[in-house]
Amino acid sequence: MAHHKSAIKRIQTNARDNARNRVYSTTLKTQIKKVRAAQTKEEAEEQYRKASSLLDKMANKGKIHKNKAANQKAKLAAVVSQLES
């Protein structure tokens, strides 16, 4: 157990940040699954817009790398374009 005040604060902030990052990552994974599971092109495009926005937000906040966000958006766009109307 930490004895210094600053170390105790770091433990608390690390736990808080870890919980927040877990929420971001699980939300993103769920949104990506929704895009891939969409049956119609319209539904897939709607889910893709949400996923794309979420990826951009996470990249801007530094939760994921900007190139990872770009790669995932490209892969999802390819999935959406494969669907027929």
* Domains of the chain with CATH codes: 5-82 (1.20.58.110)
For position 85, what pLDDT does the model report?
66
For position 22, what pLDDT does the model report?
95
Of the candidates 25, 36, 14, the residue with the CA atom closest to the CA atom of residue 64: 25
For position 75, what pLDDT does the model report?
97
Which tokens belong to 36? 């891939």
Question: What does the pLDDT look like over 7-65, one tens digit per residue?
Answer: 999 999 999 999 999 999 999 999 999 999 999 999 999 999 999 999 999 999 999 99
Degrees to nearest 5, angle at CA 63 with 58 and 67:
75
Confirm if 54 and 27 have CB atoms less than 8 A apart.
yes
Of the candidates 64, 26, 80, the residue with the CA atom closest to the CA atom of residue 56: 64
For position 65, what pLDDT does the model report?
97
For position 2, what pLDDT does the model report?
86
Which tokens belong to 78? 């390819």
For position 84, what pLDDT does the model report?
80
